[in-house]
Amino acid sequence: MPEIRIENVEALGKPLGQYSHMARVKGAHETLYIAGMLAPGDDFDAQCTGVFKQLETALKSAGAGWSNVVQFTTYLVHSQDIPKFMAWRLREFPKLFSDGKYPPNTLLIIDRLVGEQYLIEVQAIAAV
């Protein structure tokens, strides 16, 4: 298991949500680059839950878990969904990351995803 340290840089101020400024990975390890995951659902919350279940499945298939994640990139179609995303993470991330150390996350608002029904896509990088 690589040594993974999730850190915040004091000079950068407090993060605006459930993420950290950076992840440091030390030691011989393998890196997983997990493609952006999509999930069906009738609303943003259902899709968000489905996306993170897909990510968890990908992590488990490589013998990894949430503690191996060193970065997320999140794509949202509507800026109005930012509060919904923040609320979802506020509620769910403490369950996924019980130590309270949340990986860095870049959040981007884009024109659309591969299918118009999709509202969120998340990709991840993990060290195992």
Q: Which residues, in sequence order, are bridge partners of residue 26?
A: 3
> Which letter, b or e, does each residue of 10-20 get, where b requires 16 or more Cβ atoms within 10 Å of its Cβ?
eeeeeeeebbb
Q: What are phi and psi of 33, to 5 degrees?
A: -115, 105
pLDDT in tens, 18-36: 999 999 999 888 999 999 9
Q: Domain map of the chain by residue range?
A: 3-127
Span 108-119, average pLDDT: 98
Name the average pLDDT for the chain. 96
Q: Does domain 3-127 have CATH number 3.20.20.140?
A: no
Specify the higher pLDDT residue, 1 or 43.
Answer: 43
Span 36-48, average pLDDT: 97
Close Cβ partners of 62 (under 8 Å, ≥ 6 residues apart): 32, 126, 128
pLDDT in tens, 82-91: 999 999 999 9
pTM (two decimals): 0.92
What pLDDT, on the 0 to 100 scale, is given for residue 90?
97
